[in-house]
Structure 1
Amino acid sequence: MTMREKPYLNFWQIWNMCFGFLGIQIGFALQNANTSRIFQTLGADYNNLPILWLAAPITGLVIQPIIGHMSDKTWGKFGRRRPYFLWGALFASAALIIMPNSPTLWFAASMLWIMDASINVSMEPFRAFVGDMMPQKQRPKGYAMQTFFIGVGAVSASMLPWIMTNWFDVANTAPPGEIPDSVKYAFYVGGISFFLAVAWTVFTTKEYSPEEMAEFEKFERVQRGLSEHATHVVNDRSINKFVAHGVLWFLAGLILTAFFIGLNLDKQLYILSGGCIVFACVQWAVAILKSKNRTQNGFVEVVEDLFAMPSAMRQLAVVQFFSWFALFAMWIYGTAAVAEHHFGNGDPTSAAFAEGADWWGVLSAAYNGYAAIAAIVIPIIVAKVGLKLGHMINLWIGALGFLSFLVVEDPTWLLLSTVGVGFAWASILSLPYSMLSNVLPSHKLGVYMGIFNFFIVLPQILAAAVLGFIITEMFDAKPIYGFAIGGISWFIAGFTVLLVKLPNED
């Protein structure tokens, strides 16, 4: 078999293959900005919103590795990843159009699950798509282009209800129990945009054949200093290991549950103990299937791949964990922190709180806008200092931006703080994936990109479980300290990225 490097893509080829991410981010941003509003309009109690919102992390945890595994093995007339782009976009667009017309709360919650699952079906293969289509040295540009579209999509989608009201005079209020027309029309535009953007990528980008991908992978193995015949590590984890480790995780879950009950701690902490028990059951299920020689299925293969992660991926998982823990701290406490600390009132019924919440919306749009700009700058930084040092610099700039929220008094100056947040956000969305794609075999790129998503979801679940307890017990219920926790977390992430061992490093 011959071997050759993947062709370098020009600007418009990279643009076309990443354009679908614009639609995906519009869908995500509309969901993030308006789902709580829809739930509350349909009668949800404010205290129950976190439970309803668990759809997103749980769906991502389950769907992404499954879709990644499936897309790795899909080689049809329509390509390898593109069928998932298109089918995910069809269902996500339909869900976006239907959700604001939900007649009941349970219907809206169901649509959120369908929407999030469909968005994940489209999104996960996009991460692997860059690795499929681009040579290693060009991948930072590909992921940076995705980040650019994420920023543009987030800003435009966040503004859609406001645009409907202020530009087109669409009603922003409605009778009790009904969703305002401004939200409905924003979702309609978002659904159509989602499908059209993904379809643009599907019909303008041609994927390589299995034979070509085999040639490219052979070349990349040699470039990484491996034998041209080297293959991925064989999954040889024994049944006894699955059983034994399952017992340990199950006992850990029981001990944590007893501890939380004994001290009468926040019930949200049960998410941690429950997660340990579920992980134990997953390992036992694999052990049972392996004992019956039923290993040729996606469930067993994904779990075995999880334990066979390359060492560099394990190291990057630590970076991702601390990176995303900081982001969830910001998303959970941003509104309350700015309203209370910078506008002087934490009462959700007060005018000052409403003003602070509106300003946090502006800051959110700002850091996403800065991320779009940072996506243009980051490849230049990487060319000068490399992937690891470039990511560390961006994370530490973001950490300083977070910490500045505690000392800046004039909320207008927070627009400067969000510059750092935007650079860190752009870097998190691009550089870890560039590093990861360089250490993974192409035939496992999809499933490992999906497994990598675990280390986005797990800090989200942990944040939901422990941040409330930490802020209440350690920081006198002052939400501004969520930014302090986030800043420290980003400093840790920046340090740990230096410990990642990439191919061909001295």
Structure 2
Amino acid sequence: MTAKPRLSFWQIWNMSFGFLGIQFGFALQGGFMSRIFQTLGAEKDALPLLWIAAPLTGLLVQPIIGYLSDRTWHPRLGRRRPFFLIGAILSSIALVFMPHSPTLWIAAGLLWVLDASINISMEPFRALVADKLPEEQRSYGFVLQTLIIGVGTWVASNLPWFIAQLGVPNEAGPGVVPPSVKVAFAIGAFVFMASILVTILTTPEYPPEDLQRFRDEQKRRGNFAGEIVHHVVHMPAQMRRLGLVQFFSWLAFFAMWSMATPGLTEHVFKAPAPDPAAFDMAVPAQAAAFQSANAAFQNAADLVGSYMGYYGLSSMLVALLLSFYAARFPLNRKAVHAGSLVLGGVGFLSMWFVPHPAWLIGSFALVGVAWASILSMPYALLSSHVPAEKMGIYMGIFNMFIVIPQIVAATLLGPALRAFFANEAVFALVISGASLLLAALALVRVREPAHAPVPLASQAH
């Protein structure tokens, strides 16, 4: 096999730059979809179920796209870039139309399209690092991806707030998404497409060493489903143990993405989403009362999205510190992950009793410590327990432990809030905190493998 040449900083930067757009899409989706759903009339306890599209599409799309991209070669676009382009076009269209949804179910359908499209672009990005970089540069490549993920999360999470500060209206009539959110999603669509094009236009791919043999092999039909089932049944014990850790970790973050807006606007800001049906719009005083309550909710939702951005900023800094430390000293990944999950759990629990909304910055910064570890340590703990020749399929199976807890949360979180917590949405974040503490406890059964370079993993959804 021909040795891969070392790449310069700018070559690696351009190769990873498309992640900026992908993270813009994820951050706008994660920070503002519940706000759009509530504006269109969704009850807060129905939000997790409306979010079920995201994990379901991840469960279906991620392994299929990974399988197809391994078996693709386009004479001009190469192996991974056709999927970058298709995903970017579909994601940009969905981002533009999402805040213009006239009804709740159209918005839910567009979320399905958006999440599937983002996954089409995102999954091949993981393989591109292995395709392009020699072994000694891969950790460096993942560090740059982590940096771009953090920047994208922070900027996109603050977009509606920043646009409102420029004078774009932050409120609208009943059932209408404010112009500031519409502009933010349009900017997100542009950034998504532009950043993906930077990677496509500046990053050539290496063709298969024997192109004719590659094409002949792709003509042979394999039993993809049977192969996955076989490896699920025979997965390494370390993967099963880490699967429990991942289950509680991703349940916590799905609860945050779907319920942070209603939970924090009503509990911390005292500005819940008003129900238009409770106001008689034909009476001027009633219409003015609705507008006042809606303005308070929209402003609070802006700040919730802005504060959420700090978990992306925090995760970027923590991931960089971990990577620089691990490059020089042995790192006890199990201990680091346990400590990070505990800090994230404390961050979530603190949201229940913060004395002032600005304190949420510190809460989300602690959550970001857990997020940085979740994006890296489980993969480091797993890597030495998986055969190198089966790394791709096992990493695809490992993603099941990411999407299954999100599906569980989507179906059970709303009923649990109604049955046990008087339908107070802030308790979804308390559940997130408890879930991260359980994830840290589940690490007791995980083995700490022999020291190896820590591979920082790109974001899964």
Into which bin does the TM-score normalised by the smaller protein fall?
Answer: 0.7 to 0.9
Letter in 2 for 1:98: F
Matched position secondary structure for 2:324: helix
For residues 210 and 338 of structure 1, the distance between their equivalents in structure 2, rounded to whole angstroms, comes to 51
Alignment partners' CA distance in 1, 2:381 and 2:425? 34
- Provide the residue aligned with 2:180 in structure 1: 182
Q: Partner of 1:375 in structure 2?
A: 319
Aligned partners of 2:52 and 2:410 also within 8 Å: no
Q: Which residue, 295, 298, 323 being the options, matches 2:249?
A: 323
Contact 1:295–1:301 under 8 Å retained in 2: no
- Structure 2 Cα separation of the partners of residues 31 and 188 of structure 1: 13
State the match for 1:21 in structure 2: 19
Matched residue type, 2:22: I
The residue aligned with 1:164 is: 163
Write the letter of the residue equivalent to 2:186: Y
Q: In the alignment, which residue of structure 2 is the partner of 1:147?
A: 146
Cross-structure match for 2:235 = 309
One-letter amino acid matched to 1:68: G
TM-score by length of 1: 0.71
2:31 aligned to which of 24, 30, 33: 33
After superposition, the Cα gap between the structure-2 partners of 1:432 and 1:82, relative to the gap in structure 1 and judged at 3 Å, is farther
Please give the alpha-carbon distance, in whole angstroms, between the structure 2 residues aligned to 1:175 and 1:342.
24
1:71 aligns with 2:69: yes
Q: Of the candidates 420, 424, 440, which is equivalent to residue 366 of structure 2? A: 420
Equivalent pair of 2:47/2:258 in contact (CA under 8 Å): no
Structure 1 distance, partners of 2:155, 2:402, is 24
Instruction: Give how far 1:155 is off.
Output: 2.1
Which of residues 407, 420, 424 is equivalent to 1:461? Answer: 407
Deviation sequence 1:453-482 (CA, Å, 0-9, x none): 221111112223334455555556665554
Corresponding pairs, count: 422
Q: Which amino acid is 1:193 matched to?
A: V
Separation of aligned partners in 2, 1:177 and 1:483? 26
Structure 2 residue identity aligned to 1:463: A
Q: Map 1:32-431; keep pairs closer than 5 Å.
A: 32-41=30-39, 48-77=46-75, 78-134=77-133, 138-167=137-166, 169-176=167-174, 178-211=176-209, 296-339=222-265, 342-343=268-269, 345=270, 348-349=273-274, 357=301, 359-383=303-327, 384-386=329-331, 387-406=333-352, 408-431=354-377
Contact 1:342–1:356 (CA under 8 A) maintained in structure 2: no
Give the CA deviation at 1:413.
3.2
Give the deviation of 1:437 after TM superposition: 5.6
Q: What code does the residue aligned with 1:397 have?
A: L
Deviation string 1:378-429 (CA, Å, 9 cap, x unpaired) is 2124333424443333223323333444554344334223322111112212
The alpha-carbon deviation at position 303 of structure 1 amounts to 3.4
The SS at the match of 1:67 is: helix
Distance 1:139 1:434, change over 3 A: farther
Q: Which residues of 2 match residues 467-486 of structure 1 at below 5 A? A: 467-471=413-417, 479-486=425-432
Please list every run of 5 or more consecutive structure 2 residues that lacks an aligned counterpart in the other structure: 211-219, 275-292, 453-461
Cα deviation, 1:240-295, whole Å, max 9, x if unaligned, reads: xxxxxxxxxxxxxxxxxxxxxxxxxxxxxxxxxxxxxxxxxxxxxxxxxxxxxx98
Paired letter, 1:92: S
Q: Taking structure 2 as the reference length, what is the TM-score of the superposition? A: 0.77
Between stretches 421-430 and 91-100, larger displacement belongs to 91-100
For the aligned residues, what is the CA RMSD?
Answer: 3.7
Task: Quickly say closer, same or farther: Cα 1:358–1:180, change in 2 above 3 A.
Answer: closer
- The answer on whether the counterparts of 2:30 and 2:258 sit within 8 Å (CA) in structure 1 is no
Q: For residue 493 of structure 1, give the secondary structure of its aligned residue in structure 2.
A: helix
Q: Distance in 2 between matches of 1:100 and 1:342?
A: 25
Q: Deviations over 1:38-94 (max 9, x none)?
A: 445556565654443221111111111111111222244333322211211122112
Deviation at 1:202, TM superposition (A): 2.4
Distance 1:121 1:303 in 2: 23
The alpha-carbon distance between structure 1 residues 65 and 107, as it changes in their structure 2 partners (threshold 3 A), is: same
Partner of 2:433: 487
Identity value in percent: 49
Q: 1:136 & 1:362 partners in 2: Cα distance? A: 37
Q: d(CA) in 2 for partners of 1:311 and 1:16?
A: 38
Once residues 332 and 103 of structure 1 are traced to their aligned partners in structure 2, the CA distance between those partners, rounded to angstroms, is: 20
Counterpart AA for 1:207: E
Q: CA offsets, 1:205-245, max 9 Å, x none?
A: 33344449xxxxxxxxxxxxxxxxxxxxxxxxxxxxxxxxx
